[in-house]
Structure 1
Amino acid sequence: MNWTDERVEKLKKLWSEGLSASQIAAQLGGVSRNAVIGKVHRLSLPGRAKAGGTATAARAPKRNTSAPRAPNYASRITTRTVTRQQGATMLKEEIEIETVEEMEYVPAKNVVVPISRRLGLTELTERTCKWPVGDPMKDDFYFCGCDSPDSSPYCNYHQRLAYQPVSERRKAVRVG
């Protein structure tokens, strides 16, 4: 079977519409699914679009803005091309991944930082702040230990750090 310019253009159109290789083979006629896949790879066509919408809209992650985050990190979504094997064929596809950037925390000037009680893990209770301080692999690691409200694992000061509104997180100065 010869790939004429007309058949190649129809292949490109159907591929960009998100049809599978089997569906394209059926519409072109006289060509197998494997022949379609081979031609797609020789043409270096991008991964086919998902039916029912754009590829990026189908993979858009849901964000939970109420979850606590470490105070010195920010995440963002980036697109990366990866190669994976499906059967005997290597496929390239673009995926969205969440990357984490280290951010510099700039505290407000008139904030009174509470004196922590420097508790160890075994000394924590339901009513103590569980904010970690330092490197867990070092001997000087401890938890804040100040009194925390009923429904929070953190004291009032560390609650403000952990549960920042979205607008304040965007204002943070990025390091990198």
Structure 2
Amino acid sequence: MILLIKILRTCGFTGYRPSKLPFPNNEKHPACLRLKALIHDTVEAAIHDGYTHFICGFALGSDTYFAEAVLVLRTLYPQITLEAALACEAQAENWAQKDRDRFYDLLSRCDVETYISRKYYPRCYLDRNRYIVDHSRRLIAVFDGKLGGTMYTVNRAQAKKIELVIINPSAYAADNT
């Protein structure tokens, strides 16, 4: 019964890494700032809908924006928790130093760390995405139809009839590219 209650109040997240966003590696771009604001507002709407536990894969890009939004909102809503669902221990090993520092700072402020595997294996990121869907009742996705892990995760959520909120990042870049 405890697990069911947790899932009913859990909101997962999936989204693009910087290379698939319309403003790669430019967080000062107006479209990125709008996307971050929309992620924040979408998380806050989930909180108002009763979601108290949030799961994120902690990849670069959209996942980072989501984790940051949850942590900012936790100052206003102390009942919410953030879970880092990590593919493997070496997830950030090959990232630039500034990205690793940001990753470990966010990770240190999480309430729960879940490792799909201690060591990397070819499907560990897909298994991480499966974990997020299987432990959520709502999924927020930064998605505009591109092939890849985000599409896989969105399709899995649809197949499992999980409530889905899609944020199309291309819609926010059209007038400011």
User: TM-score scaled by structure 1?
Assistant: 0.23
Higher strand share: 1
Higher helix share: 2
Higher radius of gyration, 1 or 2: 1
- Higher relative contact order, structure no. (Cα contacts within 8 Å, ≥ 6 residues apart): 2
